[in-house]
Structure 1
């Protein structure tokens, strides 16, 4: 079980996340749903101690979990210059020597001998995904993993997530698209105004969708009233 307790994070005097508590089980894909700017990326960066000031506790299977024990896929992956895809994956797999780069690349068929700066946006996302899989982590943080992927790669990622679930990994996956959450997640939490507003099981995803729509409609009601007001 992944247990996140009283997570609070922000930049300077600006509080972004306020006392977040969340649990996710092994073999579970847990969605973090929210509009752009809701704090999904800040949430992941706080767990990895990347950027925002952080307080709270994170544990896995009852023991404290450090950032080194999590694999993080950022929404916009970064690679060192003059580095080939092969070199990147070899670096990522140093703690997991059993990872077969050639076998896993059979899924995406990336040109691993080429420099990463020649890769397209989708290719960079696929290389970064292979990189966190190469690390052998039990907890994965996936920030908008489907962004930038084509139709074929999206279907392959669905299969990868199912395989990881069967192997007992715990995955937190962020998205602002309800269809993605319905497709891949076992549970989902709605992040808004710096807090987890509510968490839904898969059977209750229709209620989650209605919950999100109500939030959006309530927020835009006043704006629509102004737009429709006669000049």
Structure 2
């Protein structure tokens, strides 16, 4: 469980998050959607303890940051760190001893090579593997499906569903609505730093049509003027 109450965050004079309040239950997957600049990544960084914010943030395991796996949309890797060393670095931080790493390399990554030389999709899969091997109770996955291949997308969907079955709390942002439909119990719409709508699973079909209608109100025919 993660409980947010009146979370506010500003950068200088610009307020990014406004009174964000929500309870994320254990054993559920929550999708966070919104246009670029709506505040999704800032909200994730506040939950992860990477940004300070006013308001209160509680979880049933404290401190939250020591039990949270955060997959950023664009993972960063030191230039002289191999994939294998990166995984050991992150798992050591959680006091986890990883044995038979080669057998747990489900994405078949070249773990002896420098991670900085990986492709975008390989970097995403490496960061995901390390985060999962930490065995966290809470997960934030910021655009986890971006840049990965179809086979890996299928694997990731199954991983998320298994984490849910293990009573983990999972927050996902994605611009690919089909991935949210396949994994989420609830979708929250973030607009201008506020949660404007909560959509339950049985409402996903109507919500998708509503989104399409809203988007297609823009006159795309102007592209061919």
Fold shared per TM-score above 0.5: yes
SS at match of 2:198: strand
Partner of 1:67: 65
TM-score using structure 2 length: 0.89
Task: Decide whether the 8 Å contact of 1:4 with 1:58 is kept in 2.
Answer: yes
Partner of 2:111: 112
Shift of 1:45: 1.3
CA–CA separation in structure 1 for the residues paired with 2:212 and 2:190: 14
CA–CA separation in structure 2 for the residues paired with 1:103 and 1:195: 43
Shift of 1:58: 1.6
Unaligned runs of 5+ in 1: none
CA–CA separation in structure 1 for the residues paired with 2:156 and 2:148: 9
Task: Decide whether the 8 Å contact of 2:80 with 2:116 is kept in 1.
Answer: yes
Task: Decide whether the 8 Å contact of 1:57 with 1:64 is kept in 2.
Answer: no
Aligned CA distance change for structure 1 residues 119 and 86 (closer, same or farther; 3 Å): same
Unaligned runs of 5+ in 2: none
Give the alignment of 1:138-177 within 5 angstroms. Answer: 138-177=137-176
CA–CA separation in structure 2 for the residues paired with 1:175 and 1:108: 21
Partner of 2:125: 126
Partner of 1:15: 15
Aligned CA distance change for structure 1 residues 38 and 97 (closer, same or farther; 3 Å): same
Partner of 1:41: 41
Shift of 1:214: 5.2
Find out whether 1:212 has 2:203 as its counterpart: no
Task: Decide whether the 8 Å contact of 1:142 with 1:172 is kept in 2.
Answer: yes
CA–CA separation in structure 1 for the residues paired with 2:58 and 2:47: 11
CA–CA separation in structure 2 for the residues paired with 1:80 and 1:115: 9
Aligned CA distance change for structure 1 residues 24 and 71 (closer, same or farther; 3 Å): same
TM-score using structure 1 length: 0.87
Cα RMSD of the aligned pairs, angstroms, is: 2.3
Partner of 1:54: 53
Shift of 1:176: 2.2
Task: Decide whether the 8 Å contact of 1:10 with 1:16 is kept in 2.
Answer: yes
Shift of 1:152: 0.8
CA–CA separation in structure 2 for the residues paired with 1:67 and 1:102: 28
Instruction: Give the count of matched residue pairs.
Output: 222
Aligned CA distance change for structure 1 residues 152 and 103 (closer, same or farther; 3 Å): same
